[in-house]
Amino acid sequence: MKATKIIRDVIHSDIVFDQRFMKIIDTKEFQRLNRIKQLSCEYMVFPTATHTRMAHSLGTYYVMGKLIEHFSALLLEMGYEVKNEDKDLALCAALLHDIGHGPFSHTFEKIFMMKSHEDWAVSILKSTETEINSVILKEFGEDFLIRLTEIISKAYKHQDENGIFFIISTLVSSQVDADRMDYLLRDAYFTSVTTGNYDFKRLIRAFGVEKNSKGELIIFIHQKFIATLEEYILARYYMHKEVYQHSVKRQMEGILQKIFERAKQLYISDNKIEIASIIEKLFRNEKLSVEDYLKLDDTTLLYHVSLWQENKDEILSRLCKSFIERKKFKKYTFSQDSHIQIIRFKEKINELLLENNKPPIEDYSKEYFYIEDDRDLKLYVNTKENIWIKRKDNKLLDLSEVSIIINESSISNKSECTKRVYISPEIFNLRFGLEVDLIEKLGTW
């Protein structure tokens, strides 16, 4: 029996790892995830939401272990054997699914227009310069690494000889996967949003698997467990509504993006600005090596934001202070005919500028006082990967065809699409050299 180590977790209690996986966890590439918050700027709304990508990755490993245990028994009854190598592959993919994440979650990708974190994960795992590559090759082998990167990059979506690889891919990335099953519970706990909870153990018991007419393996949920699945779908919906798309969180991410846009503009204009070499490379649009990318974490960006608070450029300084001190911009929300309303809103700002002998704004996306945000809430997307329900008559139907709560009517009518605009009156005044607060004259919308 392989030597094991236990890591205590607030969500799943004891998580057991054998030495091979502990060697992966102890690599510097994996430890970097301890310096990246799971929920980006969410801690500015929920002060306890400071948990990390590393904690979530460990939790996803645990969830995958329970899923593999459940599916191994089901597949064995069907005459399929899930080999130890397949189990290791599933566990490793779960553990490393976020290894390529940049600072502040997906915000970093938006700021610097970077390739996706899945693509970075593949680069990190394949690089002969990384510790994690060396450990995986030594402990699991080259073929294992190839299959692992195919799963993480989502490049593998077709059925293999025995279907096991397809099952693993689905459990790593789908509408009901190990990733979501962990982060919903974890994020709900650390934000104390109780509507994000669901019955984890019962949901796992709800899964079934069978062959379709083409001989392909299909994962489904037994109809008698549909209430448990609905609870999970609703938990995901409410977490998006109350947490992931919270206006303050989205606004602070927008401010962070504006900070680095302004800093880059100053750098290109040859204004003196203190900057680390890794950020300088990003501002020059240079291609980053894996070694470069791995230097980036939340502390890298926060260091610069803190430093630039005292920059002589008032706009950059104000943006940084707004972020560090959580000084919110003024919020405007548009629900009905939001596109038309925003056009009118911008026209009103331009009218006020012209009245004060100031030039109108042509491109609002380039303005540092202005942030626009889309809030799009969907209960369930049946155009992505279907969630199949097996009825008592053994017929497989999409969830929306079976559920009373999550049906065709609720999918089309209960989605919420709103636009939010955030404006900084101080930066607006700086931009146009105004002493009178014109933004106040906009009134309510």
- The domain boundary residue, chosen from 327, 359, 392: 327
pLDDT band for position 370 (cuts 50, 70, 90): very high
Mean pLDDT is lowest, of 191-205, 225-239, 416-430, for 416-430
CATH of the domain at 267: 1.20.1250.30
Q: Which residues constitute the domain of residue 339?
A: 329-378+415-445
Q: How many distinct structural domains can be found in the chain? A: 3
Shared-domain flag, residues 53 and 195: yes
Shared-domain flag, residues 215 and 84: yes
Query: Tens digits of per-residue pLDDT, 189-231?
Result: 999 999 999 999 999 999 999 998 888 899 999 999 999 999 9
Shared-domain flag, residues 286 and 404: no
Please state the rounded mean pLDDT for residues 66-73.
Answer: 97
Shared-domain flag, residues 269 and 192: no
Q: How many Cα atoms are found within 13 Å in the side-chain-facing hemisphere of 167?
A: 30
Shared-domain flag, residues 305 and 323: yes
CB neighbours of residue 76 within 10 Å = 11
List the alpha helices (DSSP H) in 192-225.
200-206
pLDDT band for position 413 (cuts 50, 70, 90): very low
pLDDT band for position 108 (cuts 50, 70, 90): confident
Q: How far apart are CA 444 and CA 371, in angstroms?
A: 17
At 55, list the tokens: 């904690």
Shared-domain flag, residues 387 and 368: no
Shared-domain flag, residues 355 and 420: yes
Please determine, for residue 251, whether its predicted confidence score (pLDDT) is greater than 60: yes
Q: Are strands 330-334 and 4-9 parallel, antiparallel or unpaired?
A: unpaired
Shared-domain flag, residues 214 and 356: no
- The domain boundary residue, chosen from 265, 294, 327: 327
Q: How far apart are CA 323 and CA 46, in angstroms?
A: 15
What residue type is 41 in one-letter code?
C
CA distance between the termini of the chain: 66
Q: How far apart are CA 441 and CA 428, in angstroms?
A: 13
Q: How far apart are CA 84 and CA 90, in angstroms?
A: 10
Task: Name the CA dihedral angle for 125, 126, 130, 134, rounded to a multiple of 10 degrees.
Answer: 90
| Residues 293/299, Cβ–Cβ less than 8 Å | no
Q: Are strands 217-222 and 388-390 parallel, antiparallel or unpaired?
A: parallel
Please determine, for residue 284, whether its predicted confidence score (pLDDT) is greater than 50: yes
pLDDT of residue 111: 86
List CB contacts of 222: < 8 A, sequence separation 6 or more. Answer: 206, 208, 389, 390
pTM of the entire structure? 0.94
| Residues 400/221, Cβ–Cβ less than 8 Å | no
| Residues 313/272, Cβ–Cβ less than 8 Å | no
